[in-house]
Amino acid sequence: MSRIGKLPVVIPEKVEVKITDNVISVTWPLWSLNWEIHDLVSVSVEENNIKVNPKDLENSLSKALWGTTRANINNMVTWVSVWYSKSLEINWVWYKMEVSGTKLILSIWYSHKVEVEAPKGVTIKADEKLKNTIHFSSSDKQLLWEFVSKIRAMKKPEPYKWKWIKYVWEVIRRKAWKTGK
């Protein structure tokens, strides 16, 4: 028996849930998400709750999909109603960044400037107080993490020269250069 699968998903205000032909759609006034439900699991909407049940408790795949389906639906409801945010910090003298609409223009010691277009649903904002910090926000957690990690991977942290693009919460152990005799 799935402990997670048994729990109902509570639907917050302004969120609408519709199930048609094994496709669940979760909508909010600004955002909408769709997901296809597997045939071995049944999903029902009762009042302000979504309940997930396996169709066959003897089938191990049905039991495995029970908790996974409930977790995915819970994430969809959360993603639609809550905005997630991530922040990156750029640190080095010659590393520069600009925000131009939905584009992020990075000057990170390449021979050219790197322009990164934000996917639909992701907003970019430079911090006014901290000149080297960029804030990203979206209602889709997975899309946000993929986009921010793609930007971070352009220049991974370098602990010897103390230059990097890193998450704000990330701690990098700085290392000293080798010393001679």
Instruction: Report if residue 96 sits inside a domain.
Output: yes
Lowest mean pLDDT among 10-14, 22-26, 33-37, 177-181: 177-181
Instruction: Report if residue 177 sits inside a domain.
Output: no
- Averaged confidence pLDDT in the chain: 88
CATH number at residue 131: 3.90.930.12
Instruction: Report if residue 25 sits inside a domain.
Output: yes
Interatomic CA distance for residues 164 and 139, integer angstroms: 27
Residues 115, 50: one domain? no
Helix (H) or strand (E) holding 79: helix 60-81
Of the residues 61, 81, 101, which one is the last residue of a structural domain? 81
130: domain range? 84-167
Instruction: Report if residue 15 sits inside a domain.
Output: yes
Residues 88, 50: one domain? no
Question: For residue 62, what are the CA distances in angstroms to 2, 9, 21, 38?
Answer: 11, 19, 18, 9
Instruction: Report if residue 67 sits inside a domain.
Output: yes
Q: What percent of the chain has pLDDT over 90?
A: 41
Residues 60, 117: one domain? no
Residues 92, 160: one domain? yes
Please give the average per-residue pLDDT across 116-133, as a whole number. 90
Residues 162, 89: one domain? yes
Interatomic CA distance for residues 87 and 85, integer angstroms: 7
Contacts of residue 72, Cβ cutoff 8 Å, sequence gap at least 6:
35
Residues 68, 123: one domain? no
Residues 17, 44: one domain? yes
Q: At residue 171, does pLDDT exceed 70?
A: yes
pTM above 0.75, yes or no: no
Instruction: Report if residue 172 sits inside a domain.
Output: no
CB contact burial 71-83 (16+ within 10 A = b; e otherwise): bbbbbbbbbbbee
Per-residue pLDDT at 79: 80
Per-residue pLDDT at 157: 81
Residues 86/118, Cβ–Cβ less than 8 Å: no
Interatomic CA distance for residues 169 and 109, integer angstroms: 24
Residues 136, 160: one domain? yes
Instruction: Report if residue 180 sits inside a domain.
Output: no
Of the residues 51, 81, 111, which one is the last residue of a structural domain? 81
